[in-house]
Structure 1
């Protein structure tokens, strides 16, 4: 037992210090303890849980999927032990968390569905009377000094359960683009952040790392708010995200590896607001924060590419505001370096190439630029490379195909290249606005994609001498939603004659598919946490 405790403590220190050698040693020791068969059932369950967490940490550092797969097996074994109380909540929540990561590896929707089921179960357990946090939580967040140690532990556990449930909903949003999932993720993350306010009153009762927990909760909430801002343009979300990140930046203990992530997110949010408001002071603040993040990222080298991407974005926005050629050239230099570092399987490469193409086009369009032709040709190559990336999000592929088409039409009107690029863009429209989205989300996606894509594609085909193809693309682009509606409207008379119940069920499903956006969890005044 002493060996197991020593290995668990070493694993914790290794995770905190990002010491791979020490983490490897602790994993080996925990495996040996489990292999010896010593200890009672609770002791072995604790060892297995610690092994799973250590493996998950090593997966995060090295990206070895076998570590993640073994971590999933450890988490499943923990749930199968049928523990009770807080241990049960932690076991269920841990399985949900590792399944989130496992889904990102496998892409299997069943893994995501199982993850969300586990998150629901963990939330349900937290809300049971024997585990529930103080009923005064909402009304008296600042007056909880009298809670006992067990209630304190429950506050900490409940906050983490809600936090990871929010992550799962965001993951589903990223894959299926249902804004209801993002709304629910934000509301649940907000409740988790509210709970972390109580932890400072509980430090003497055993809850550790208040500043770090509070800071990371605020940082993750801010990330979701920024995603919703990108969708809706509601500046209230952006301003709230900045306030969250400013507090997170002050709360995060210096020396923590995650401090660079918080600082980078604050820089990106300030840069976004500076671009929206045309505020040079916001952009200056953003670049100053980013320089600080670079210094802080020495312990987190994998943040390097994202830091450079953020810097390039801010420099491009400032160049557009001030006309600075130095900013524009520096942004293009950063983006070309990044494009050479990512391989074609990286989803980030598409964004890098799109921004590089924009920077090169902008530089070529500045009066007095020597030899703008080569810059435009480099931009065309970047647009096409981005459009050809199968690993990129479909909406980014669509943006790249449109950019490629515009560049080709400007350089060589009537070329087959322009016709090919725009045809690619139109063919992506039904994929972007796929049937799994609700009607409002489909309309938003198509509007964001550009209402003139079909017309531009038809013009490119006509210029290339293909009138039949022009008409075909025009009908395809303008009839995405209508064709989907026609597909689900079928005559059910024959089915009803054979099976009336089946016909009624098909009618119900068809009505749902044709219906408008359903209200998101929590919008009717009920708690999003309870509904989740």
Structure 2
């Protein structure tokens, strides 16, 4: 009975090998298991029975994926191997079978020990096989496959080279009619494909397609391995499409995948991979042709693959990452935030399941970083941008030189630095963006389909730097790169609108700085084409509308064609209508629309249009979605536009701008950047103060001058301020605030110090990230403190009723130097109000002229040179005296008269006056003003008062009454000026 059952079991197994019917395999295992249960321990056929049953369980595992089968197969075959002698002719087969089982278990569980054991047994099998034995080719091929599998897990090129070496040797000695020739060809093709993916050599990809085609051609239609060969060949065609962009390759890939899927049973363990592969092809076709149906199919196939994949399967991270990519692209196409959240969720899961030494780890890091970058662009949260850069930076460290993913990682990092520069304004970020974009482009072959994307990214960075520094070479480079990118982009490509928009933006930038109308016409042309080819409902539509609207507004400003202005208003309104309230670009669209209405007001003199413009800017300034920089710029535009008509009051606009100033000049940026930002708004303080003075709100004018001119100093002072009052009532909060303030102050000091070269850019980036994190935490703690009873004004800038206390040793004269008129704000000892004196004969233009005369005179007198004095030029002394006479007549004398100091000659100690000038008046020698041309000597300032200077009133409050002040003796004379 036992021999009959054994024969029956073997017959069922052979029929399974030919026809692939699972029932045959079940019956084979049933028969052989029963025979084994009847066999005594000393049965001479026990070893062969254990091996046969183990092989059957292994086959069923490969067909159904039940891990119990694999465990049983390894146990049975290990027992069989222990019973065979080292010189037995069947030893190579036993070793090879057991190696295959460990290899299969590795493929499903990912345990490194299994693939290590597999390589060990395969190596022993090859060594035990005679050189002239026909099975040597098969064993060499299996050893190559084991090395291939370890390469997939660890990414070591040495394993891949060994795989190709063994598989090539196997193919060379295999007979043309052997049954395993198709599998041998397929495995060698797979290794060449992996080497292509790792090193990018097209020769490897060509060999992969050649060998896979041969494998497919030599496989009968009824063979159970036919789907495997179809899938493998489709993968290589898909890779060639990604590398060269030929749609014919993609169509072939999808054709082979469509043939393979119906041949795969629902319970087949490879079904998830085949579903995933077909989904990936649909996704590639979506990226190439932009058809949403392809993207939905990709998500659908990937969803089915995920449902069928066990939680502990080593391929699960790959499937999760792919699904995350598909949802990320759906967000980019439809703008639905839910898709972006799913993308981050899937990619985060993929990353969490990937070991630190896995070769796919850099790819998952780049993918997750890309989604955080997309969420930053959509919601404007700096944490997302920081996370994106963190993931890209980790990936960059892990990606080996020559890896195709290196280019993508560099490009993404460049994009992040570009975005951060636009958000925070730091030029160092822009330089890094250009560096990474340039490196990405250098690594991109001329025939690569991603070349246009790299060209566009680099062009965008050059255009951004041109907007900041106005170096003509940058905009020329931008237009050159973007033109080449556009030439390489076929009609109908989903990225065509972006390429057109980028080139239009560069032409628009060149027009705004160089004024060539041809550039503006080209900008209108490219933006119009971009709008035409952007599908309805696409998230980029609002950007296309806003940009074309701005171009028409600029063309109206230059040519005065009313149709341009009407189009500007129409496009800007359409952009606003389809922009979500939480979109970070909303402020920019408001600004463009406001500009269009302002131009209409200037054209028609109809106040309604100006009021519409101001309403838009007021709304933009208050938008919580906008970045602080954008909102501040909107508030400044609001204030400037409101000042265009004398009937309007710009006070609210200036107050909004000044309230937003600490967010524009942000503690999270470097001290150097904060001072650089202040230079861009040099006139805000005097403009705001002038508006307050016009409204007779002199205390507000004083506050604005004080807070706006010295915002960085005030920020530093706040970090070092004692927190005694808060500590007394809320010690825990005070302690946290003190710790963060101390760390932030230290980080700010480091950022001001020049760094020795070579300076570790990674350390610089980490320092910047830390500083921004501390600044955010510091702001949050301040909000908590100010919400407490009695702490509303905690560490807030001082109000006027506190600032006036600075006048302890005499009057303080704050001079606001505006382009229309200079004004003096008088802060008097013992007074709680601020007095105003208009200096009607003096303004910014006159101040600049007097400053030039003073400096020229001093140079000609030789008083600006060190060392040996040069010969005085004729007339220099007279010009200097003339300048001092103007300062006396137009500034100093009116102030002294207003204070009553010139009503009569003063006896005894002269009163003390502290000057606090602004703008170009800060460079005028107020303390030396006087009439030096009168015979016998005219009136001079030091006959009436002793002068000193202060940059701010807060600086005076920080000193003691006994501190010395800068003064001049009463007998100071023009002749002593040396």
Could you tell me the TM-score, scaled by structure 2's length?
0.45
Superposition map of 1:270-349 within 5 A: 270-298=507-535, 301-349=538-586
- Structure 2 residue 316 is the aligned partner of structure 1 residue 44: yes
Over the aligned positions, Cα root-mean-square deviation in angstroms equals: 3.5
Cα separation, 1, equivalents of 2:531 and 2:715: 48
Out of 327, 342, 346, the residue aligned to residue 74 of structure 1 is 346
Cα separation, 2, equivalents of 1:99 and 1:221: 21
The residue that corresponds to 1:402 in the other structure is 636
The residue that corresponds to 1:244 in the other structure is 481
Cα separation, 1, equivalents of 2:514 and 2:329: 40
The residue that corresponds to 1:192 in the other structure is 440
Give SS of 2:533's match: helix
Cα separation, 2, equivalents of 1:109 and 1:292: 33
Out of 402, 411, 435, the residue aligned to residue 163 of structure 1 is 411
Displacement of 1:438: 1.5
- Structure 2 residue 606 is the aligned partner of structure 1 residue 372: yes
The residue that corresponds to 1:381 in the other structure is 615
The residue that corresponds to 2:803 in the other structure is none
Out of 370, 373, 377, the residue aligned to residue 100 of structure 1 is 373
8 Å Cα contact 1:268-1:314 kept in structure 2: no
- Structure 2 residue 693 is the aligned partner of structure 1 residue 462: yes
**Which entry has the higher C-alpha Rg, 1 or 2?**
2
Summarize deviations over 1:188-218 as a string: whole Å, max 9, x none: 111001111x353xxxxxxxxx1x3000111
Out of 275, 280, 305, the residue aligned to residue 3 of structure 1 is 275
Q: What are the ranges of 5 or more consecutive residues in structure 1 without an aligned counterpart?
A: 134-153, 201-209, 492-502
Evaluate the alpha carbon distance shift between residue 342 and residue 65 of structure 1 in structure 2; reply closer, same or farther with a 3 A threshold: closer
Displacement of 1:531: 9.2
Out of 617, 636, 650, the residue aligned to residue 418 of structure 1 is 650
Summarize deviations over 1:330-387 as a string: whole Å, max 9, x none: 3233323434443543333322332333333333334xx4x53333333333333333
Cα separation, 2, equivalents of 1:92 and 1:381: 44
Displacement of 1:482: 1.6
Could you tell me the TM-score, scaled by structure 1's length?
0.79
Structure with greater contact order relative to length (CA < 8 Å, sep ≥ 6) = 1
Out of 89, 92, 115, the residue aligned to residue 388 of structure 2 is 115
Summarize deviations over 1:451-474 as a string: whole Å, max 9, x none: 222222223223333222221122
Higher fraction of helix: 1
8 Å Cα contact 2:423-2:627 kept in structure 1: no
- Structure 2 residue 676 is the aligned partner of structure 1 residue 444: yes
Residues 510-519 or 477-486, more deviating: 510-519
8 Å Cα contact 1:245-1:262 kept in structure 2: yes
Cα separation, 2, equivalents of 1:388 and 1:303: 24
Displacement of 1:512: 4.5
- Structure 2 residue 327 is the aligned partner of structure 1 residue 55: yes
Out of 401, 409, 416, the residue aligned to residue 132 of structure 1 is 401
The residue that corresponds to 1:180 in the other structure is 428
Summarize deviations over 1:279-303 as a string: whole Å, max 9, x none: 1122222223233323433488443
Q: What are the ranges of 5 or more consecutive residues in structure 2 without an aligned counterpart?
A: 1-270, 723-737, 766-978
| Count of residue correspondences | 478
Evaluate the alpha carbon distance shift between residue 388 and residue 300 of structure 1 in structure 2; reply closer, same or farther with a 3 A threshold: closer
The residue that corresponds to 1:363 in the other structure is 600
The residue that corresponds to 2:748 in the other structure is 513
Summarize deviations over 1:421-474 as a string: whole Å, max 9, x none: 2111122212210111122321222222x3222222223223333222221122
Give SS of 1:246's match: helix
